[in-house]
Structure 1
Amino acid sequence: MRRFTIKALVCAIAFAAIGLVAAGREAAAQPYPNRAIRAIVPFAAGSATDIVARAFADRMTATLGQSIVIENRPGANGMIGANAVAKADADGYTILIGTNSTNAAAPALFNNVPFDMHKDFQPISFLCSVPLIVAVPNDLPVKTLAELIAYARGRTDLTFASASASQRVSTEMLLSMTGMKMTHVAYRQGPTAMQDLIAGRVTLFTADLGVMLPQVRGNTIRPLAVTSSTRSPQVPDLPTVDEAANVKGYELIAWFGMFTPANVPADVVTKLNAAVRAAAATPEVQNSLQAALGMQIAPSSPEELAARVRTEAVKWQEAATVAGIEKQ
């Protein structure tokens, strides 16, 4: 009787194992996606990258039929989150909401980048771009960028904040082109840098419209200029840096794109790209990003995003050189 029981138990375990294998094969055979997708945002909650990620994820879910779960993994100018995606399984269930910081500027700013932005990622689609706003605390005795330049002349006690490559390089370029001297204060998260700007603990902060506009509209900071070559429709009275500082050739904007680990199946790339395009066309995404925050939405093909990354890498290397930034 005891031998029979043992045999029955062994058989039951064997059948259960076979069932699990069969279930796994059945799940694998189901068309992509058949479970939730993880979208890693390499910057903090509340950052512009986070805002873009959530806007697109909400609408892509309707097309894909599966939820996209946002996971914020900030740190090291976005490299921690980007590296997590570069090392993830190439099955399409981990995506990166990348930026110019992670997917263009990193090699120009850092010596030990833990991934190869050209080889370790599969581009999916460009998402959008946005200019930055140069701002100071309300209690700083300047009203314009020209007044700030005059105020900074001869001073060595001024500081500027940054929590990403675009924030740092845009400010370093401004300092280089205007002759201002400020000490760089690095932040892990943009929202923390904003808090210190509002409190007057730093002199200057340059960040994208997504982060800046709520504070500008709430009169908690003083905007001086936009970093694009033309004025922004969201703040039409705010001059460009070229206008405000009387310089020529200054321009630097932030951008966002979607990537997966390299070597994901071609059908996954196609489905994700189609979902991005469908999301970009919805009133929800248009209103939350373009109308409200001044972001220019421009979905692309994977090939177009790959070409942009190559071009932007050269651009950011040149910008870092102009700004006199030494690699860290």
Structure 2
Amino acid sequence: MKIKPKKSSKIVETKSDRIFDITNKILVWFFIIIIMYPLIYIVSASISNPSFVNSGEMWLFPKDITFEGFQRVFESKDIWIGYRNTIFYTLLGTFINLAVTLPCAYALSRTELVGKGVIMGMLIFTMFFDGGLVPTYLLVRDLGMVNTIWAMVIPSAASVWNIIVTMTFFKVTIPRGLEEAAEVDGASVFRTFFQIVLPLSAPIIAVMALFYGVGHWNQYFGALIYLTDRELFPLQLILREILIQQEIATEIMMQGGNIEAIGEQARIASIVKYAVMIVSAAPLLIAYPFLQRFFLKGVMIGSVKG
């Protein structure tokens, strides 16, 4: 009896497949270079002699390394106050955001919610029609939140878009049968949410925490409007002041007509500018790799299971 050889399960790669793969790799490397070059350039410029940066001699790697820019930035005592406040606003604000977004999205994901259509309509309406800056300020003022930490976290307590994304995640990912089984066992809605739904929702929680956290970290416009006490200023507002001070000092030097002093002040302003960029962005760049796997899973889960 002849035994027929088993057919190989290996997929034969055709010429068109190879061309497609090579094209994809070229495009991926092209986009990597486009994305990485500005990052490398800013890091290099922040530790390079400004004369090489301004003349265009430094185009990728640092030349005549100096840390004067970082030294001048960190010499300001306000920079540490800004870091402290921004970290506090980011942690507190993100916690409030998640405490509002997750329960709201879970409630809207349940088909038995009474008035779900009306609630969704009201939420979506706010995405297209904003109250405006003046009414928002008047509301914050009347609530007594001007010049307090609450002005930095309460007005942005939730994002309608993030609520919709989280609601979709709950609909697609959390099996309805699992919730029904918990109800049969006597679990309340709150117990089901906290002990079953949330532990299975780590990807979307990480994504929402990252979205909200980045927003709080980069926020400066709200502080510019609502805060006057320097002890409450976030990092971004402090860094903005440092840049403005350097620009003003340069203009004053120009009016004085001292060429050497003007050149020195312009050099300082240039090196401080790049150092400020690194100081403001470095914490987020450090934190992102730890959340990346959750971020990718949370973003792609809808398309994979849909």
TM-score range for the pair, normalised by the shorter chain length: under 0.3
Query: TM-score, length-normalised on structure 1?
Result: 0.23
Per residue, is there more strand in 1 or in 2? 1
Query: TM-score, length-normalised on structure 2?
Result: 0.25
- Bigger Rg, structure 1 or 2: 2
